[in-house]
């Protein structure tokens, strides 16, 4: 087309073709402003579109990108040295990683000079810039890294390990991926109270209290007192990370949700059939039954009144720590009550 004269009527055509851009471009350039006005459903839609684009360019299933994004979003919530993400994607690169450690221009968005200085930043949307603040560029950069290791599950695990250098990150992300794959949606926000409301139960805030058994420990959870055999329900979507005996917790189940939070259900009398390591669960699903197991060798029970010990642990990318589940339980109990009334 170079040097050709475009007949007048084609200008009109081109102008008409450009009109949609007038509407798309402002939206595109202000993801942060836009996000503030969007419903969660709309945010999920935007994110899903980005994951599917990454899937198309890398041939790695979208739910791995959803999983990595969830993992990093969980880290951002757990730490205060990481800023809240401005766009739709939480995957975080430092300026040094993106532009290259020796790059004198830490805000470099030129893919060529970034590459010369050993930076990882790539231009994913073909706008000529490798922009650390552009969701598509960030996701594309991550996807290309991962695809470099191959595309089957084991390759992806190796790629994730190479990227995070942390076994736990690989476990959490592959777990999240299984949850997303099973439910085929990003909308996994729902929660449930840990026991059915129509059973007799009682609980109060005792997180941080001193303990009697097993040395100097603090109480890392909330005790929900209920009769033997009261069903115990998963409070969230997630994957069963642990199941078995522990001398303190007795028969217990640990479930990891997609925000990296670990939910710990202890002193069970028994497990629900089909609950195994790796089982994907949803909120309200029965995972076991209230008991008084624990405080001794496997099978010990009756050393205290039957109750569910429920704990929540947050992961910050290095360590996990217990936080008080009482406010969450109160909220979920309230929500379950409203659901019942509807």
Interface residues with Zn ion (CB under 5 A) are 221, 223, 309
Q: How far is CA 184 from CA 48, 180, 187, 213, in A?
A: 10, 5, 9, 44
216 Cβ contact partners less than 8 Å away, ≥ 6 residues apart: none
Least distance (Å) between residue 276 CB and Zn ion: 24
Q: Which is nearer to Zn ion, 118 or 327 (CB)?
A: 327
Least distance (Å) between residue 283 CB and Zn ion: 21
The DSSP code for 3 is T
Q: Which is nearer to Zn ion, 28 or 225 (CB)?
A: 225
Least distance (Å) between residue 263 CB and Zn ion: 14
Least distance (Å) between residue 323 CB and Zn ion: 14
Least distance (Å) between residue 133 CB and Zn ion: 45
Sign of CA dihedral 65, 66, 67, 68: positive
Least distance (Å) between residue 310 CB and Zn ion: 8
Smallest CA-to-CA distance from 70 within 238, 254, 233 is with: 238
The DSSP code for 123 is -
Complete DSSP assignment for 145-168 = HHHTT-SSHHHHHHHHHHHH--HH
Q: Which is nearer to Zn ion, 180 or 310 (CB)?
A: 310
d(CA 259, CA 70): 6
By beta carbon distance, the residue nearest Zn ion is 309
Smallest CA-to-CA distance from 257 within 79, 131, 74, 122 is with: 74
Whether 267 and 248 have beta carbons less than 8 Å apart is answered as: no
Q: Which is nearer to Zn ion, 259 or 309 (CB)?
A: 309
Least distance (Å) between residue 281 CB and Zn ion: 21
Whether 239 and 172 have beta carbons less than 8 Å apart is answered as: no
Radius of gyration of the chain (CA): 25
| H helix and E strand count, the chain | 10, 10
Least distance (Å) between residue 221 CB and Zn ion: 5
Least distance (Å) between residue 309 CB and Zn ion: 3
In the chain, how long is the greatest CA-to-CA distance?
Answer: 91
- The torsion angles phi and psi of 210, rounded to 5 degrees, stand at -70, 155
Q: Which is nearer to Zn ion, 68 or 224 (CB)?
A: 224
Q: Which helix (H) or strand (E) holds 322?
A: strand 320-323
The DSSP code for 229 is T
Smallest CA-to-CA distance from 50 within 68, 26, 76, 71 is with: 68
Q: Which is nearer to Zn ion, 152 or 205 (CB)?
A: 205
């Amino acid at each position: 087309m170079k040097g050709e004269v475009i007949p007048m009527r084609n200008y009109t055509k081109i102008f008409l073709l450009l009109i949609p851009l007038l509407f798309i471009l402002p939206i595109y350039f202000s993801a942060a402003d836009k996000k503030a006005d969007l419903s969660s459903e709309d945010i999920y839609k935007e994110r899903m579109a980005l994951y599917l684009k990454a899937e198309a360019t890398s041939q790695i299933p979208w739910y791995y990108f959803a999983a990595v994004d969830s993992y990093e979003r969980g880290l951002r919530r757990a730490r205060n040295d990481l800023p809240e993400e401005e766009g739709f994607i939480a995957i975080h690169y430092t300026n040094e990683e993106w532009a290259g450690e020796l790059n004198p221009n830490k805000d470099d968005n030129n893919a060529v000079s970034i590459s010369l200085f050993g930076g990882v930043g790539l231009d994913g949307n073909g706008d000529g810039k490798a922009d650390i603040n552009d969701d598509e560029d960030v996701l594309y950069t991550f996807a290309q890294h991962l695809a470099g290791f191959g595309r089957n599950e084991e390759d992806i695990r190796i790629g994730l390990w190479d990227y995070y250098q942390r076994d736990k990150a690989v476990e959490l992300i592959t777990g999240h991926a299984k949850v997303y794959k099973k439910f085929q949606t990003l909308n996994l926000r729902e929660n449930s109270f840990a026991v059915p409301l129509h059973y007799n139960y009682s609980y109060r805030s005792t997180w941080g209290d001193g303990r009697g058994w097993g040395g100097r420990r603090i109480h890392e959870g909330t005790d929900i007192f209920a009769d033997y055999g009261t069903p115990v329900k998963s409070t969230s979507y997630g994957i069963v990370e642990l199941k078995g005996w522990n001398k303190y917790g007795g028969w217990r189940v640990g479930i990891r949700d997609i925000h990296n939070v670990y939910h710990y259900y202890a002193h069970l009398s028994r497990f629900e059939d089909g609950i195994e390591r790796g089982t994907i669960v949803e909120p309200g699903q029965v995972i076991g039954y209230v008991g008084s197991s624990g405080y001794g060798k496997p099978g010990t029970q009756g050393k205290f009144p039957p109750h569910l010990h429920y704990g929540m642990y947050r992961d910050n990318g290095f360590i996990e720590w217990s936080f008080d589940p009482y406010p969450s339980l109160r909220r979920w109990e309230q929500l379950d009550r409203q659901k019942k009334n509807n």
